[in-house]
Structure 1
Amino acid sequence: MSHESRTESVPERLTVQDASSAAEPGRNDAAPRAGGSGTGSVDRAAATGGGLLLVGVALAAANMRPAVTSLSSVLGGVRDSLGAGATWASVLTSVPTLCFGVAGISAPLLARRWGMQRVVGVALGLLTLAMLVRVTGGATTVFAGTVVACGAIAMCNVLIPVVVKESFPHRVGMATGIYTTAMAAGGSIGSAFTPWLRTELGGWRLALATWSVLALAAFVIWSTAGRSASGGSSPAAPSRSAGDKSLVRSPLAWAVTGYFAMQSLVAYVIMGWLPEVFKSAGTGAGTAGALLGLVLLIGVPVSMVLPPLVTRTNGQSMWTVGLAATAIAGFLGILLAPMAAPVLWAVLVGTGMSAFPLALVLISLRSSNAAETSRLSGMAQSTGYLIASTGPFLFGVLHNTTGSWTASLLVLIGVLTVQAIIGVFAGRPRTV
């Protein structure tokens, strides 16, 4: 109990910040560079592979949202073109978080068997194929292709942060910043440009298929980097030792998991339905997609500056409340006067969505070592995403039942309120 009441120690903060800044002059990790029989050449080869791997990390991260946001920005047109019903659209928007929850359980098992870099490479290949196949048929094909695509994304979503920690132990902060920034940028361009591509290419099928090019580029770079980095070896997933504590009995672990679940639920409701909400208010399809792109674009600079800022404070409770309150203000604007200042509402909602990088920081700060971080991350992501998967479906069902977005938006505001309350407990400076 006394352990939980402590503030996080300096080493815990370094799991989020750039670890290279903490390296001491006399550390042994500098020794191999000095020379020796062959060690220097191996180190230089690893550094070269590591640079290519960093590019692969950025490209893989850039693919974690376009498959979702590109479809949501033209969802109404796709549904009408295929003659699909409202329930189909509601279920489709729930696919990403459901896949992420399942992958939170299966990804570590696959990584232990075949290695994380290999699993990520196969996932990127599947993502490329799925994004092509899903535009070739009817409603069932679109749904099945989206399930496979989101399953592939989910594998990357779970494993790439661990690859970053394993492959860039002295540049964790820098690599994580690149990872989260590329993720936000990919989601933004997927939403903003897909309506324009639909117009230019003559339909939604070619517009959605275009994003497979980005996935193919990530697959090629990642496959090459996986063979180059560390002489072709692949980091293994952290294993659990017999002495590890069970997180199921930790209230703090459940608080972190609950916070991750609530922010994920809100995020995927936004990515799945926000364009439709704006279109119902009177905006065109292109403008609605651009507004979602703006929401996601806000996350690019925030993902770069937020993690270093929050790790400098003794606790993160104020950050969790502030971000939730900002999102609530944006949704109140959309609810009460959607066309009065849609850009302002998008900026407020986008700022509030920065709870995602904050959730990743909390996972690191609320755990005391790497193995504990891995277990807490697995618990938060698997359980959190499964809970979040209900959000997009219920948001759409409420709209279909009531004939307006009012009830759906009020429930979402309620979820944000719960997120803020849970965040107060998750943000207190202690470890599980």
Structure 2
Amino acid sequence: MSTHMPPVTEQDASSAAAPAHPPRTDRRGALGGVLLLIGVALAAANMRPAVTSLASVLGEVRDSLGASTTWASAVTSVPTLCFGVAGIAAPLLARRLGSGRVIAVSLAVLTAAMALRVLNGPWTVLGGTVLVCAAIAMCNVLVPVVVKESFPNRVGMATSLYTTAMAAGGALGSTLTPMLNSATGSWRLSLGTWLVLALAALVVWVPATARSGRTAAPAAPAEPGRSMLRSPLAWVITGYFAMQSLVAYVVMGWLPEVFKGAGIDAGTAGALLGFLLLVGVPINMVLPSLVTRSRSQSGWAAGLAVLTITGMLGLLLVPTTAPWLWALIIGVGMSAFPLALVLLSLRTASAADTARLSAMAQSVGYLIASVGPFLFGVLHDLTGAWSSSLLVVVAVVVVQGIIGTVAGRPRTV
């Protein structure tokens, strides 16, 4: 952004170094930065409601459409699968169009797809969910890049805002959708309501990127010869991202059904998932800043894994004894996600490297993670219980903790 200025004469040159008032461009730039932060928060708030809202009424949707359990397993796998596939295209589009424009188009697609998926039968729901998750995938990859580029000295603060908004959106999606379903008697209306949030993000994002001028332009060409695929550390971080994503989307896709299987009513089961995600809101506000102040993040990764394992074992062994406690512990443990996002920035030396690592971690990581929700449902069908599925998740979290300990050691790719 630039403003035409008159030529500086010899008479006023002496006073140019100390202007009486801040330049107008500085004030407009600051306002653009604040608006961009709001846009980041609203974009992040849309990352999970599309998933958690459907999970909270999945049984009702399946029964209403006469769909099979295999269909339900496929629907729960769609988010991570789409995140992986669509995430590959995000950096390519960003280099041509700019991160800001790609995110704007993605928010427009998300708004339309949220309406589309509630219009017809099971294949329309599945197809609409594919489009929804593809749009979210673009934002997943590019919003951390926007944070790195636009707020290089406040990565912890901006990441806190981003992850807090994401957690809050997911919690609202899980908690409010069953209430809306009960109030309206229509799962279609209760799911479709969430397009309003996507539209709000779009309305703010477009002027925010235009005013700030920081993310509207196409990104600089990638440095030649740089490939994250050749970096062992990049693969370690990708593995960590994959494991925590697998666990997160199993929880977001299936936890209400696990609680229902234990004899808990549908409303309470949805509220438990909402509570679990809500727990992440205050943690996400402070964790990224705390993590960035630590020389090593290994202890954080190990501690979060231990918490998740504890909650999962409680859910496995005594699910109805203290369901709110298990939800609380798992919710804290799932703060591995903001830790993974921070690692993308801490383990890279430039925005270009952050973009490359983010694309690799999220595309490959989500493709690996997509196996989790599908396998979780299939194991339940084969065994008639959730025990085997939960034991597999516990094993995955053990691996997550080990990989996270390695990824947390201070160095860059």
Distance 1:235 1:302, change over 3 A: farther
- Which amino acid in the other structure matches residue 84 of structure 2? G
Which residue number in structure 2 is paired with residue 239 of structure 1?
221
- Which amino acid in the other structure matches residue 411 of structure 2? R
Q: Is 2:255 the counterpart of 1:267?
A: no
| Higher alpha-carbon deviation: 97-106 or 337-346 | 97-106
Q: Give SS of 1:298's match.
A: helix
- Counterparts of residues 194-213 of structure 1 (less than 5 Å): 194-213=177-196
- Which amino acid in the other structure matches residue 374 of structure 1? A
Which residue number in structure 1 is paired with residue 230 of structure 2?
249
Which residue number in structure 1 is paired with residue 12 of structure 2?
none
Show CA shifts across 1:47-72 (max 9, x none).
22222222111111101100000000
Q: TM-score, normalised by structure 1?
A: 0.88
The partner residue of 2:395 within 414, 418, 421 is: 414
Q: State how far apart, in whole Å, the 1-side matches of 2:191 and 2:369 are.
A: 25
Which residue number in structure 2 is paired with residue 329 of structure 1?
310
Q: State how far apart, in whole Å, the 1-side matches of 2:215 and 2:261 are.
A: 52
Show CA shifts across 1:5-58 (max 9, x none).
xxxxxxxxxxxxxxxxxxxxxxxxxxx99659x992223222222222221111
Distance 1:227 1:233, change over 3 A: same
Distance 1:252 1:206, change over 3 A: same
Q: Is 2:63 the counterpart of 1:80?
A: yes
Conservation of the 8 A alpha-carbon contact between 1:366 and 1:429: yes
- Counterparts of residues 59-208 of structure 1 (less than 5 Å): 59-208=42-191
Distance 1:395 1:42, change over 3 A: same
The partner residue of 1:298 within 253, 258, 279 is: 279
Which residue number in structure 2 is paired with residue 348 of structure 1?
329
Distance 1:220 1:289, change over 3 A: same
Which residue number in structure 1 is paired with residue 33 of structure 2?
50
Conservation of the 8 A alpha-carbon contact between 2:156 and 2:292: no
- Return the offset for 1:233: 6.6
- Which amino acid in the other structure matches residue 346 of structure 2? L
Q: State how far apart, in whole Å, the 2-side matches of 1:355 and 1:130 are.
A: 29
Conservation of the 8 A alpha-carbon contact between 2:113 and 2:129: yes
- Return the offset for 1:170: 3.9
The partner residue of 1:391 within 354, 357, 372 is: 372
Conservation of the 8 A alpha-carbon contact between 2:284 and 2:338: yes
Conservation of the 8 A alpha-carbon contact between 1:108 and 1:237: no
- Which amino acid in the other structure matches residue 162 of structure 2? Y
| Higher alpha-carbon deviation: 110-119 or 167-176 | 167-176
The partner residue of 2:357 within 365, 376, 379 is: 376
- Return the offset for 1:169: 3.4
- Return the offset for 1:349: 0.6
Q: Which runs of 4+ in 1 moved over 4 A?
A: 32-36
- Which amino acid in the other structure matches residue 292 of structure 1? L
Q: State how far apart, in whole Å, the 2-side matches of 1:394 and 1:367 are.
A: 33
Q: Give the count of matched residue pairs.
A: 398
Q: State how far apart, in whole Å, the 1-side matches of 2:98 and 2:274 are.
A: 34
Conservation of the 8 A alpha-carbon contact between 1:188 and 1:296: yes
- Which amino acid in the other structure matches residue 380 of structure 1? A
- Which amino acid in the other structure matches residue 179 of structure 1? Y
- Counterparts of residues 23-34 of structure 1 (less than 5 Å): none
Conservation of the 8 A alpha-carbon contact between 1:238 and 1:374: no
**5+ unaligned residues in a row in structure 1: which ranges?**
1-31
Q: Give SS of 1:242's match.
A: coil
Q: State how far apart, in whole Å, the 1-side matches of 2:296 and 2:209 are.
A: 38
Conservation of the 8 A alpha-carbon contact between 1:33 and 1:40: no
Show CA shifts across 1:300-324 (max 9, x none).
1111111222233332222111111
- Which amino acid in the other structure matches residue 216 of structure 2? S
- Return the offset for 1:145: 0.7
Conservation of the 8 A alpha-carbon contact between 1:34 and 1:40: no
Q: State how far apart, in whole Å, the 1-side matches of 2:19 and 2:31 are.
A: 17
Which residue number in structure 1 is paired with residue 3 of structure 2?
none
